[in-house]
Amino acid sequence: MERNDLCWCGSGKKYKKCHMQMEEKLAILADEGHIVPTRDMIKTPAQIEEIRKSAALNTAVLDHVAAHIHAGMSTEEIDHLVYDYTVSHGGIPAPLGYEGFPKSVCTSINNEICHGIPDESIILQEGDIVNVDVSTILNGYFSDASRMFCIGETSERARRLVQTVAECVELGLKEAKPWNHLGDIADAINSHAKANGYSVVEDIGGHGIGLEFHEEPFVSYVTEKGTEMVLVPGMMFTIEPMINEGGPDFFVDEDNGWTIYTEDDGLSAQIEYMVLITEDGAEVLTK
């Protein structure tokens, strides 16, 4: 673009007063061998405003689940809670029908790493830990977050794992700031998990989001500090490490083709934040 053209982002500012300096810096970093985002990975102010509305509904759905989840309920009941609340507030559950997924939410219990499918025969038991992963479409814009719930009195090993994954996400969030790298987030998460005796799932990670359910970049949690994509304002993605109490290996349920289990039958926990890189850090849009 020419310096005095209106910026491509739709801000109404001239390019020289908006994204020109950032893109010049990215060009230099690219020449030095760094991985840099393309324009389509950077959300415009108008897009961010609409995505925030989707994210607010996503948070409200998770709050609704938190107010009702309890021992003795089926995961199918959680699915109904999510579907009914989302639809009644003008949204669409993003997982429903996505690549054939049959439900409105993922409910992953104990040794299930992710993509657990709600079912009326699966009953939450005292002592279970369960990840509820909610994704929402509102007016064509996507949001995504998950929470861990401890059902009743859980074991010390379960509580410690859930606490550690919460700490991992917060440590990763501190590294989510302009001109850092995705690898900085990964290193903070992986280092803390390992220091507590846990492993991080390697082949499943976070993703860009906002205009689609899953966008670039892929967000790994096992890469080294100073590697992977450079972060700049306007990037939007999830921080959602999956932490295992045993090894990182897993297998996929052969019957349903979705649910992913720990290979060694150990517990697994995950918390997911959806974040926007800002001028001085990161804004958590939904968690």
Tokens 């760094």, located at residue? 34
Distance (Å, rounded) from C-alpha 117 to C-alpha 76? 8
**For residue 176, what pLDDT is reported?**
98
pLDDT in tens, 80-92: 999 999 999 999 9
Dihedral sign, Cα of residue 25, residue 26, residue 32, residue 34 = positive
**What is residue 281's three-state secondary structure?**
coil
Burial class (CB in 10 A: 0-12, 13-18, 19+), 175: buried
Distance (Å, rounded) from C-alpha 266 to C-alpha 5? 57
pLDDT in tens, 236-278: 999 999 999 999 999 999 999 999 999 999 999 999 999 999 9
* Residue 185 binned pLDDT confidence (cut-offs 50, 70, 90): very high
Taking the CA atoms of residue 106, residue 108, residue 114 and residue 118 in that order, the dihedral angle to the nearest 10 degrees is -40
* Residue 104 binned pLDDT confidence (cut-offs 50, 70, 90): very high
H-helix segments, the chain: 20-31, 45-68, 75-88, 156-174, 182-195
The number of beta carbons lying within 10 Å of the beta carbon of residue 13 is: 14
Length of the chain: 287
DSSP label of 144: E
* Residue 124 binned pLDDT confidence (cut-offs 50, 70, 90): very high
Mean pLDDT of the chain: 98
**For residue 199, what pLDDT is reported?**
98
Is the separation of the CB atoms in 285 and 52 below 8 Å?
Answer: yes
pLDDT in tens, 23-59: 999 999 999 999 999 999 999 999 999 999 999 999 9
Distance (Å, rounded) from C-alpha 281 to C-alpha 172? 12
- Residue 168 carries which side chain, given as an amino acid letter? C
Sheet holding 250-252, edge to edge: 112-114, 260-262, 250-252
Domain boundaries, the chain: 43-286
Domain at 43-286, CATH homologous superfamily: Creatinase/methionine aminopeptidase superfamily (3.90.230.10)
